[in-house]
């Protein structure tokens, strides 16, 4: 009996292998025929694994964009979605798959800069243009002419917050970062750099501390900060730690301004921190109540309906995913073909593209040359738009 079952399993394995192969051939032959009416765009996002949540939000935005603008050059755009499991090894194989098996014209992704960096070389060698939606690490596009991105990068966001802190009259600052988190460390360090430059004072950052993942008690860090009494505390951190830092700081009687990054823009921060959250400042990619462009207006209305109350706010990564798709589509349209180099050149010559998250041009590195960021605060238990900051 056991042998029979094992034999059966072996046959199944061989059988699935053959079907997979024949499947491949099947699609490749049918592709030659259907190539005329379908343009494939690959999407590689973490749909499972540690970044699964963010990846799904981003994918929703991309799929919504595909629904709104399903065609280019008179052909239908087909999204080919692959999961990269938030894993670098899987990330590289999934991108090779998109390029070799699905023969996509362009690629969108991925949430999480590490996976994008790992896939960068394959994209470069295959000469297939790629558009990152929310990967903010500068290394993603550096030295890779085929990788572009729709979001601003960490140095920019750090600069924005440093600028805004200065505008608020701050002369000294303390920074709290999450040890081991590339986003938090990157953003925190760029804030430190910009703040020092702007104040012209090497000693303007009076305290830098790091906490460990899953820490819930920040009293030792905050007591230390309280003694030094900075004008502002900048604490880029994840959603779960943000409200804890805020409440514990206020409980200790710290009166300094508290600032955070784009991850803080979530109602759960206000829910947990309660009235302590009043008066915190965050920077983010776009503002629902004050659309930057015409495209943004229609996106916000349409996407709210699409979400149907599933989420209270439109996640910024969904807006960026939407923009990434539109940028690629726009470039294919202008290139007039699906040739990788033609699309790349078209992307390079993108001029004043009206996206949801602002007017987009590309720098030489292929980063979105956005000069605006939105500053929000919390007032009466709600996020309130304060200002759109422009950086030269």
Partner 1 sequence: MITNKKNTLFRKLNILTVIIAIILLYLIDSDIVGNQYIKRILNLCAIYTIVSVSMNLVNGFTGLFSLGQAGFMAIGAYTVAIFTVPVELRESIFYVVPQNPVLSQIQIPFFPALLIGGLLAALVAILIGMPVLRLKSDYLAIATLGFSEIIRIIFTNIKTITNGALGINRIPAIPSLELDNFNISFGPMWSIFGIAALSVLLISLLVNSSYGRAFKAIREDDIAAQAMGISPFKHKVMSFAIGAFFAGIGGGLLASLLGTVDPKQFYFTMTYNFLLIIVLGGMGSISGTVIASFIVTAGLELLRFFDEPLTLFGVNIPIFRAGLRMVIYSILLMVLVLFFRNGLLGQKELSWNAIIGWFKNKMPSHKKSEGGAL
H-type helices in 39-167, by residue range? 52-68, 88-100, 113-126, 154-167
Q: Considering the complex, what minimum distance in angstroms separates the CB of residue 29 from partner 1?
A: 16
Cβ proximity to partner 1, 78 vs 361, nearer residue: 78
Burial class (CB in 10 A: 0-12, 13-18, 19+), 308: exposed
Closer residue to partner 1 (CB): 121 or 379 = 121
135/335 with CB nearer partner 1:
135
| 34: its two tokens | 């259907």
Of 154, 178, 150, 177, nearest to 65 (Cα)?
150
Q: How far is the CB of 366 from partner 1 (least distance, A)?
A: 15
CA distances in angstroms from 16 to 5, 6, 11, 13, 19, listed in the order given: 16, 15, 8, 5, 5
Pick 114 or 358: Cβ nearer partner 1: 114
Centroid of chain to Cα 180: 18
- Under the phi-then-psi rule, with left for phi > 0, alpha for psi from -120 to 50, and beta for the rest, what region is 341? alpha
The residues binding partner 1 (CB under 8 A) are: 1-7, 9, 13, 16-17, 20, 23, 47-48, 50, 59, 80-83, 85, 87-90, 92-93, 96-97, 99-101, 114, 117-118, 120-122, 125-126, 137-139, 142-143, 179-182, 184-186, 189
Buried b (16+ CB within 10 A) or exposed e, 199-212: beeeebbbbebbbe
- Nearest by Cα to 187 from 114, 283, 109, 278: 283
Nearer to partner 1, 92 or 248 (CB): 92
Angle between helical axes of 316-335 and 52-68 (0-180°, round to 10): 40
| Closest of 276, 270, 236 to residue 256, by C-alpha | 276
First and final CA of the chain: distance in angstroms?
75
**Least distance from C-beta 42 to partner 1, angstroms?**
12
Distance of closest approach, residue 119 Cβ to partner 1, in angstroms: 9
CB closer to partner 1 out of 99 and 374: 99
Residue placing its CB nearer to partner 1 in the complex, 127 or 304: 127
Least Cβ distance, residue 368 to partner 1 (angstroms): 19
Element (H, E) at 374: strand 372-379
Instruction: State the nearest-atom distance from the C-beta of 385 to partner 1, in Å.
Output: 31
Q: How many other C-beta atoms are found inside a 10 Å radius of the C-beta of residue 102?
A: 18
* SS3 call for 207: strand
For partner 1, the closer CB: 138 or 302? 138
CB 251, min distance to partner 1, A: 29
CB of 172 vs partner 1, minimal distance in Å: 21
CB of 118 to partner 1, least distance (A): 5
CA pair distance 157, 265, nearest whole angstrom: 14
Instruction: Give the separation between CA 42 and CA 106, rounded to whole angstroms.
Output: 6
Q: Which is nearer to partner 1, 143 or 312 (CB)?
A: 143
């Amino acid at each position: 009996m056991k042998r029979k079952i094992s034999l059966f399993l072996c046959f199944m394995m061989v059988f699935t292998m053959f079907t997979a192969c024949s499947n491949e051939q099947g699609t490749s032959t049918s592709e030659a025929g259907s190539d005329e009416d379908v343009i494939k765009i690959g999407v590689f996002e973490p749909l499972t694994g540690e970044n699964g949540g963010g990846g799904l939000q981003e994918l929703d935005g991309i799929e919504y964009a595909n629904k709104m603008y399903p065609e280019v050059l008179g052909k239908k755009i087909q999204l080919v979605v692959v999961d990269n499991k938030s894993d670098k090894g899987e990330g590289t194989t999934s991108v090779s798959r998109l390029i070799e098996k699905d023969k996509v014209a362009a690629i969108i992704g991925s949430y999480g800069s590490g996976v994008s960096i790992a896939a960068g070389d394959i994209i470069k060698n295959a000469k297939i243009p790629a558009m990152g939606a929310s990967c903010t690490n500068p290394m993603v596009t550096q030295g890779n002419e085929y990788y572009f991105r729709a979001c601003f990068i960490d140095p920019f966001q750090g600069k924005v917050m440093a600028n805004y802190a200065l505008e608020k009259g701050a002369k000294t600052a303390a920074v709290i970062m999450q040890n081991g988190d590339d986003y938090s460390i990157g953003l925190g360090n760029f804030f430190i750099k910009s703040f020092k430059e702007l104040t012209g004072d090497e000693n303007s950052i009076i305290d830098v501390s790091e906490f460990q993942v899953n820490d819930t008690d920040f009293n030792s860090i905050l007591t230390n900060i309280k003694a030094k009494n900075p004008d502002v505390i900048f604490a880029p951190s994840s959603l779960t730690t943000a409200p804890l830092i805020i409440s514990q700081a206020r409980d200790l009687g710290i009166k300094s301004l508290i600032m955070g990054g784009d991850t803080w823009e979530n109602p759960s921060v206000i829910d947990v921190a309660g009235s302590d959250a009043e008066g915190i400042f965050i920077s983010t990619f776009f503002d629902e109540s004050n659309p930057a462009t015409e495209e943004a207006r229609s996106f916000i209305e349409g996407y709210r309906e699409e979400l149907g109350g599933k989420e209270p706010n439109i996640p910024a990564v969904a807006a960026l995913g939407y923009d990434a798709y539109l940028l690629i589509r726009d470039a294919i349209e202008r290139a007039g073909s699906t040739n990788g180099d033609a699309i790349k050149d078209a992307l390079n010559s993108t001029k004043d593209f009206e996206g949801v998250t602002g007017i987009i041009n590309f720098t030489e590195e292929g980063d979105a040359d956005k000069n605006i960021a939105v500053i929000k605060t919390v007032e009466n238990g709600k996020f309130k738009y304060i200002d759109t900051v422009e950086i030269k």
